[in-house]
Amino acid sequence: MNAVLPGVIGTPTVEASLITPAAIAEMEAKKARIPMGRLGTPEEIAEMVVFLLSSAASYATGSLLAADGGFSLGIARY
């Protein structure tokens, strides 16, 4: 079994939740901890899933693909 491990993704639901100054500040703090400095997109996650479903990944077994902009590296951008 293979899996994609998404980080914070900029979905319509996430965007709709940013209605208060506190929610916006919390999201900015999350982005500051992502080395790429932005949220992922649904399309980026879909592309990873398509890869895992394709013959290009036919020999991949037990793979966990982190799609989190580098967050899992444990470093923050400053």
User: Which spans in the chain are helix H?
Assistant: 12-16, 21-32, 42-53
The pLDDT of residue 64 is 95
Predicted confidence at residue 52, as pLDDT, reads 95
When pLDDT is averaged across residues 22-49 and rounded to a whole number, the result is 95
Q: Do 46 and 24 form a contact (C-beta atoms < 8 A)? A: no
Question: In the predicted model, what is the mean pLDDT of the chain?
Answer: 93
Q: What is the pLDDT of residue 75?
A: 77
Q: Which two tokens stand for residue 4?
A: 């994609």
Please give the pLDDT value at position 5: 96
pLDDT of 74 reads: 82
Predicted model pTM: 0.83
